[in-house]
Structure 1
Amino acid sequence: MLKNTLFVLLSCFFLSAISKAQVSKIDSSEMVTLRIDPESSRGAAVSRFFDEVNFIPLETTKESLFGSINQLSVTEDCFVIFDWDTKSVLIFNKAGKFKTRINASKMENPEDKKGTENFYGFNLKTENGVVSIQINTMKYNTYFDLNGKFVKRVLTKKDIDTDPEYFKFKEGAKINKNHLYKKDKDSSYYEIAILKNKKEVGIYFPYQADRYTNDEFLSAGGDAITNYGLENEKFFRRPYDYNIYKITPEKLFLAYRLIFPINNSTPTDFMENPVYKKKRIAFFEKNKDIFYSISNTYKIGNLLFFKVHNMAWDTQQKTALIYHLKTTELTSIKDLEPDSLSNYLPITDAGFHYDFSSRGFLGYDDGYLYTSYSSLAMFTFKEQSAGKKATYPPLLTGYFKTGNKKSNPVIIQLKPKKD
């Protein structure tokens, strides 16, 4: 009897250990706690945080006219842009000269015209050193070169490489979001998995397959994973979580824990207490100052960039911030003062319009952060800075002579200081 009891206890112990082993441990040994009060943030001159500011107007023609930049990727020679309004991918060179456009007409499959015309973004893929644009239309992945020429069309279910390039590490490991982990007859979903040679190196944040139908999740927009220029590091954020996680080829780290004032913070039991389940949106609508997410997380040198999101929708809020990890100063991006480095023009449209409030920085590449704003904003800002003796570079001078408030958006390229 004693043997049987012992056997059962040991079996339960090992089964429990196996179950627990499926979830990898998050390394918090290097965690830094930051106390952040956005309303206490201050302004500063643009040149306090940036070494370089470049404005790149995008050429406006009948063929190139579009609304706004919803997605931006940067290659060695091109800007690749997705515009939600026109449902098209546009390609410009680094000087803003229009090259080509990919829209629904180029997506049609002569053999199967169903389900090929609608798309909502793109990925850049690199194969044998050649960059191509991959566009998914649910049924197919269609590939184009950087001149907009059709390359190939592959059934989505047969296309094994659909992840963005920045999900991959130099060491051969890759990140998989919403990962399905299969073990014999059992399977579980995980928000993040680190894979190498198709095997799980680490799996984190398990959830039930029906969680999105049984609960409510507010999105801050953009990808939860951000690349900030280091080969083997990415940042990751989660819904209703004020932590910034760092993903490496080996494991997941808790890098920064952000603590906000109580009037901006969710209750400590927000995710566990069933009283909030399926009522989360109503909670944030009622408590408009409380942050439901952080986003736009980048660490460049000693500068930590991030945004906070709530439902106040007040353009005067200080929601885009820079935290100096060495001096602990907290700066509001909205309150950065234009100076000679920026030709006395603002580096975002925060406080004037909604491009930066909605999307924040569009990405980071080769030492530069990228954002954009409309020509309406640009010409308005120029008028407001008329008292300044700005000397514009040739690209801007030509733009102000030939463009107007209805011209294409302007890309702003920013090189953050690293000290």
Structure 2
Amino acid sequence: MRTCLFYPPLLLYCLLIPAFGQSQVQKIYLHPKATGSEKQSKFVDSIRLIPLEIKEDIELTAYNSIDVTKDYFLIKDYTGKRILLYSKNGKFIKKISYKKLGESFYPLYDEYGERVVFFGNNKNYSLTSRDRLKIMLDWSNPRNKKYFKKYTIDLNDTSFTIKKEIPDENDIIHAYHYYDDLYWRGQIITSELYKDSLDYEFKIYKNNKLVKGFFPYNHINETRFLNTEESVDVNKTDTPYIHFITRPFYDTIYKMINDSLFPAYQLVLPLENSLPPSFFIKPSKNKTERDNFKRNNGWMFQQVQNFYETPRFIYFSVGYLSHYESYIYQKQNNITYKIKNIKPDSSQYNLQVLGDYGVSRKGNRFYKTQKAGDLLTFFTGNKKVPVPKELESFLKSNPHATTPVIVEFKLKNE
């Protein structure tokens, strides 16, 4: 990555950012027990229930997630290895099975290309982490493409056919669209295979060339990244060209405006969740030692993820070394709540819409799937609560308990 050596002011800027402005960033305190339970209606409003067209062979399984595309709701059923496609008004469009692709292929919605991408290893080859790194370092070699397979579904083509494609550079080096004609890369790896020791945790590319790098580290033997693979987390905001960036093992949340970076928040952790100073200066001997450290210190901090800000609240998750927890921070009172302590109430049909998994966001709205049986149970036991008009005919048709319904909601702004 010698390209960046032509920009010494940038390197100095990256080195000084953690120190500069620390007194200006707002602190988010994560108390040992957070707070007690609260009603979900304190945080959530604008709930809209979207019934989906009933089909006999479609049920909502335990392991699923939803993406909201330009024109469709896309439910990914990981158990059945299929995609359920619906229009925005709930009309069933198509069921797409991807079982034949193999075990290592999972659907990823590419918003920039308006397509679904499946990218994984060619099962005819068994690659080690070292093998994959060698391929990344020689990504332009046409022979290396045989180790991977790629399939796509063009969401602008109403046949919704799974088509085979040739993997490109961005697939192999894990680069993703940032904005306009820029791409970002945030994978962090150390290895003696690298010839140049300088790399950056977060990099921006244009036309396959590095244009900016942030947070320099030693690509060969950086202590905190030895015997592991990490990545920065990049989250869109409701405003174009503004993102939030978080780093592994670092408690500062950065705001990115276009390609300029500023520290915005700092997560203040309880001592029991904080990494010891030795973690940053004492290298692990091998992967086994590193894995043992993670298992024995499962509640130590790893990274802030899925950071989303509104005028009143911040919704975010924390990845610990072996655990995962989601939170809501209330700005006015400087209080952080654990999502699992937030309870649904009858004003929102007793639906648990906040959670650690299965919730996606499109702009300022959140989406999750819900079983029709949960709604049937609620309205049967709460006769005085009026059924929303959009649900009347759906519930009267007596759908199966596992029939999917989509819940749309927002975080309160007032």
8 Å Cα contact 2:226-2:283 kept in structure 1: no
Stretches of structure 2 lacking an aligned partner (at least 5 in a row): 121-147, 190-194
Structure 1 match to 2:84: 90
Structure 2 match to 1:270: 279
SS in 2 for 1:295: strand
Q: Does 1:132 align with 2:77?
A: no
Question: Structure 1 162/103 Cα, relative in aligned 2: closer, same or farther at 3 Å?
Answer: farther
- Structure 1 distance, partners of 2:349, 2:315, is 23
Structure 2 match to 1:9: none
Structure 1 match to 2:378: 382
Structure 2 match to 1:154: 165
8 Å Cα contact 1:51-1:416 kept in structure 2: yes
How far 1:160 sits from its partner (Å)?
A: 8.2
Residue in structure 1 matching 2:401, options 405, 410, 415: 405
Q: Does 1:215 align with 2:227?
A: yes
Deviations 1:274-312 (A, max 9, x none): 258643443343344434343221112231111234478
Residue in structure 1 matching 2:413, options 399, 402, 418: 418
Question: Structure 1 280/414 Cα, relative in aligned 2: closer, same or farther at 3 Å?
Answer: farther
Structure 2 match to 1:203: 214
8 Å Cα contact 1:45-1:337 kept in structure 2: yes
Residue in structure 2 matching 1:122, options 94, 98, 108: 108
Question: Structure 1 38/70 Cα, relative in aligned 2: closer, same or farther at 3 Å?
Answer: farther
How far 1:324 sits from its partner (Å)?
A: 1.9
Question: Structure 1 71/343 Cα, relative in aligned 2: closer, same or farther at 3 Å?
Answer: closer
Deviations 1:48-97 (A, max 9, x none): 22331123344452554453564432124311232322223321122333
What pairs up with 1:67-106 in 2 under 5 angstroms? 67-68=61-62, 70-104=64-98
How many residue pairs get matched?
370
Q: Does 1:237 align with 2:235?
A: no
Structure 1 match to 2:38: 44
What amino acid sits opposite 1:370 in the alignment? Y
8 Å Cα contact 2:349-2:378 kept in structure 1: no
Question: Structure 1 40/342 Cα, relative in aligned 2: closer, same or farther at 3 Å?
Answer: same
Question: Structure 1 168/373 Cα, relative in aligned 2: closer, same or farther at 3 Å?
Answer: same
Question: Structure 1 190/373 Cα, relative in aligned 2: closer, same or farther at 3 Å?
Answer: farther
What amino acid sits opposite 1:239 in the alignment? P
- Structure 2 distance, partners of 1:218, 1:154, is 28
8 Å Cα contact 1:218-1:292 kept in structure 2: no
- Structure 1 distance, partners of 2:280, 2:362, is 35
- Structure 1 distance, partners of 2:225, 2:273, is 27
Deviations 1:82-115 (A, max 9, x none): 232222332112233321133237x7xxxxxxx7
Question: Structure 1 164/217 Cα, relative in aligned 2: closer, same or farther at 3 Å?
Answer: closer
8 Å Cα contact 2:60-2:371 kept in structure 1: no
SS in 1 for 2:366: strand
TM-score (norm 1): 0.71
Question: Structure 1 244/274 Cα, relative in aligned 2: closer, same or farther at 3 Å?
Answer: same
SS in 1 for 2:90: coil
How far 1:234 sits from its partner (Å)?
A: 1.6
Question: Structure 1 389/273 Cα, relative in aligned 2: closer, same or farther at 3 Å?
Answer: farther
SS in 2 for 1:40: coil
SS in 2 for 1:226: strand
Structure 2 match to 1:21: 11
Question: Structure 1 287/143 Cα, relative in aligned 2: closer, same or farther at 3 Å?
Answer: closer
What pairs up with 1:284-323 in 2 under 5 angstroms? 284-310=294-320, 319-323=325-329
Q: Does 1:257 align with 2:266?
A: yes
TM-score (norm 2): 0.72
8 Å Cα contact 2:186-2:233 kept in structure 1: no
- Structure 2 distance, partners of 1:397, 1:361, is 25
8 Å Cα contact 2:198-2:219 kept in structure 1: yes
Could you tell which deviates more after superposition, 87-96 or 67-76?
67-76
Question: Structure 1 283/194 Cα, relative in aligned 2: closer, same or farther at 3 Å?
Answer: same
8 Å Cα contact 1:41-1:331 kept in structure 2: yes
Question: Structure 1 20/394 Cα, relative in aligned 2: closer, same or farther at 3 Å?
Answer: closer
Could you list the runs of 4 or more consecutive aligned residues of structure 1 that deviate by over 6 angstroms after TM superposition? Answer: 158-165, 209-213
Residue in structure 2 matching 1:225, options 221, 229, 234: 234
How far 1:343 sits from its partner (Å)?
A: 2.7
SS in 1 for 2:41: helix
8 Å Cα contact 2:294-2:322 kept in structure 1: no
8 Å Cα contact 1:101-1:148 kept in structure 2: no
SS in 2 for 1:283: helix
SS in 2 for 1:271: helix
What pairs up with 1:3-18 in 2 under 5 angstroms? none
Structure 2 match to 1:361: 359
Question: Structure 1 71/26 Cα, relative in aligned 2: closer, same or farther at 3 Å?
Answer: farther
Computed over aligned residues only, the root mean square deviation of the Cα atoms, in angstroms, reads: 4.2
